[in-house]
Structure 1
Amino acid sequence: MNRQDKAQIIEQLHEKASRASIAVVTDFKGMTVEEMTQLRAKCFEIGVDYQVVKNTLARLALNDTDHGVLSEHLKENCAIALGYDDPVALAKALADFAKTNKKFAMRYGTLEGQFLDSDAVKELSKMPSKPELLSSLLGTMQAVPRNFVCLFANIERKFLYALTAIKEQKEAA
């Protein structure tokens, strides 16, 4: 690989890392090409970039980004997964793949500049995703006006029951 190719890889990875909210470094030692292709396809579906890159190039690319703390931890063969919108989706996808493939492991990561060890990334994968959180928030926001309406509807209903009972009592007398 010549200098120009290396510079291009560094530039592309730096641009991606600058936009990413989460970066996870994974170990893929012993995986087949077919398994790596499955992982890349799964990552592509959720809008994640998964790239195998040399450690020296990754160190240079991650400098001056939120994920610069990863530079000192890059050792042996590794790949970097970069997520942009939903950090939980990336963590869930990698954790699910790790369950089915014993050769794959999540080493560590960063979330908006904060270092995460492998246990923290696994805990992040157990959290509800962004759409799930938004739907529960919407449900909570709708519950207040719905309960308010039901409360007043019950008051009117009880008032009508009382009037009906008084009417029936007067008709019977």
Structure 2
Amino acid sequence: MNIKLPTFIELYRQLIATPSISATDAKTDQSNEALINLLANWLETLGFSIEIQPVPETRGKFNLLATLGSGTGGLLLCGHTDTVPFDEGRWTQDPFTLTEKEGKLYGLGTADMKGFFAFIIDALRDIDTSQLTHPLYILATADEETSMAGARLFCR
């Protein structure tokens, strides 16, 4: 397939560059809307239908459910969009800049859990999704690092 998306490293870079910190302190807590919209655009390019759901009683938090295919059953790939707050004194580089050092990638959310979304979007670019016999769902939730409000809303 020849789908026009950024390269894997650029997907990763853009995800890391999009702040989405969850915190109990209102001064530190951030909306994940920009990150949800980024994921929605890429997944829509891959042919997914997109549902964005506001998470009540949060500070501008959203869930995204992307669906490809129809029918019963299927596979759900789920991750969260938020990161923990960070201590600037413990970082040797900008936490919102994906940085390679000695063969490793660093940035806020590289392992937990923005990298997950870069990997699955990049993998889907090379899959012939017309061959799917059951639906594929991708769920991106809000507030996993604090209240689990996004996951709880999805489970209702």
TM bin, normalised by shorter chain, reads under 0.3
Q: Computing the radius of gyration over CA atoms, which structure comes out larger, 1 or 2?
A: 1
Give the TM-score normalised by structure 1. Answer: 0.22
Structure (1 or 2) with the greater helix fraction: 1
Question: Per chain length, whose mean CA-contact separation is higher, i.e. which structure has more relative contact order (CA < 8 Å, sep 6+)?
Answer: 2
